[in-house]
Amino acid sequence: DIQMTQSPSSLSASVGDRVTITCRASEGISNYLAWYQQKPGKVPKLLIYAASTLQSGVPSRFSGSGSGTDFTLTISSLQPEDVATYYCQKYSSAPLPFGGGTKVEIK
């Protein structure tokens, strides 16, 4: 089965900083990659699917890129409300594993 690996596992950045999270698949998955945001104590929320398509209602400071095995989630200008853990997920076929998560904090 394909494994999903995220890095870093955590990061701390200042408000306004550009933040980049990486997700790597152990095999090629084309663009079948989604990103989720989970705020503390909350249910996960879909941010991006098809590697780069923003889900409705998601702020434009979030963007995704990549194809094949390497993907990136970027927050162009970190805001206090972006404090959360971010997960990638492949959905090219079942099973649908998540990455280990990246915890984003404000410095």
Give the footprint of another protein on this chain (CB under 8 A).
Answer: 1, 32, 34, 36, 38, 43-46, 49, 55, 85, 87, 89, 91-101
Q: Which of 21, 42, 31, 43 is nearest to 100 (CA)?
A: 21
User: Contact, 99 vs 87, CB < 8 A?
Assistant: yes
CB of 70 to another protein, least distance (A): 19
CB of 15 to another protein, least distance (A): 26
Q: d(Cα 70, Cα 6) in Å, to the nearest integer?
A: 10
Of 46 and 106, CB closest to another protein: 46
